[in-house]
Amino acid sequence: MTKKEKANFIIKKLEEIYPEVTIPLLHKDPFTLLVSVLLSAQCTDKRVNQISPLLFARADSPEKMIRLKMEEIENIIRPCGLAPAKSKAIWNLSKIIIEKHRGNVPQSLIELEELPGVGHKTASVVLIQAFGKNAFPVDTHIHRLATRWGLTSGKNVIQTETDCKKFFPEMLWKKLHLQIIYFGREFCRARGHQIEKCPICNVVGKRG
């Protein structure tokens, strides 16, 4: 199969398995999504969804967030891991959003990546999920699966993102990146992967 043929098969199969997908992180607006994605670094979505409501009950806007002390934020989000760094980033990005962006989460990749604690993947998730902008966020699941499927060399996530954008239609990016994440968690895990039992890898993939 060519890479384009593989991509078409993957799209069809993912649509069969996950015809409806929603972003797994609880949020109500761009700011709470931004904070939730930041909290998800090296933490499960399930844990974030247990902790973020506690934080948002106290502060669900930049204005409310900076009224809290960093120590208060840190104590709330501690179960998510990396609490000192994450609490500092959340407080500081809230301050910048107020001072530089009139209290609104910016809608450009460059401005999002300038915020403390916000990397390329986090910025891409916010762009596509909160604002409907063109982006294809690549996390560890997508990086692993795109490599297994032979769509990318797998050298780094930036190359994986470039290759995925090349083979997957832009109109599908918003839904497709979530479908791949769900598929990676259910069928195509990093450990114990059995190619013969994987609905996609048993057709287009390789062992690993």
Question: Is 149 within 8 Å of 10 (Cβ atoms)?
Answer: yes
- Told to judge if 121 belongs to the known catalytic residues of this protein, a careful annotator would answer yes
Residue 208 has pLDDT above 80, yes or no: no
Mean pLDDT value across residues 139-161: 91
Using alpha carbons, select from 155, 180, 134, 158 the residue that is nearest to residue 7.
Answer: 180
Residue 207 has pLDDT above 60, yes or no: no
Alpha carbon 14 to chain centroid distance? 18
Domain coordinates in residue numbering, the chain: 3-22+136-204, 30-130
pLDDT band at 39 (very low <50, low <70, confident <90, very high): very high
- Told to judge if 3 belongs to the known catalytic residues of this protein, a careful annotator would answer no
Collapse the DSSP code of 148 into the 3-class scheme (helix H, G, I; strand E, B; otherwise coil) and give the result.
helix
Q: Which of 45, 60, 86, 121 is catalytic?
A: 121
How far from each other are the two terminal CA atoms of the chain, in whole angstroms?
A: 19
Q: What single string gives the DSSP state of each residue in 78-107?
A: GGGS-HHHHHHHHHHHHHHHHHHHTTS---
Q: Which of 45, 60, 139, 163 is catalytic?
A: 139
Residue 193 has pLDDT above 90, yes or no: no
Fold of 30-130: Endonuclease III; domain 1 (1.10.340)
pLDDT band at 206 (very low <50, low <70, confident <90, very high): low
Question: Can you count the helices (H) and strands (E) in the chain?
Answer: 12, 0
pLDDT at residue 141, rounded to an integer: 86
CA diameter of the chain: 56
Q: What is the pLDDT of residues 3-13, one digit of tens each?
A: 999 999 999 99
Q: What is the pLDDT of residues 90-140, one digit of tens each?
A: 999 999 999 999 999 999 999 999 999 999 999 999 999 999 998 999 988
DSSP label at 49?
A: H
Q: What is the pLDDT of residues 19-33, one digit of tens each?
A: 999 999 999 999 999
> Which residues are CB-contacts of 145 (< 8 A; sequence separation ≥ 6)?
180, 183, 184, 188, 200
Fold of 3-22+136-204: Endonuclease Iii, domain 2 (1.10.1670)
| Percent of the chain predicted with pLDDT > 90 | 88
Mean confidence (pLDDT) of the chain: 95
Residue 62 has pLDDT above 60, yes or no: yes
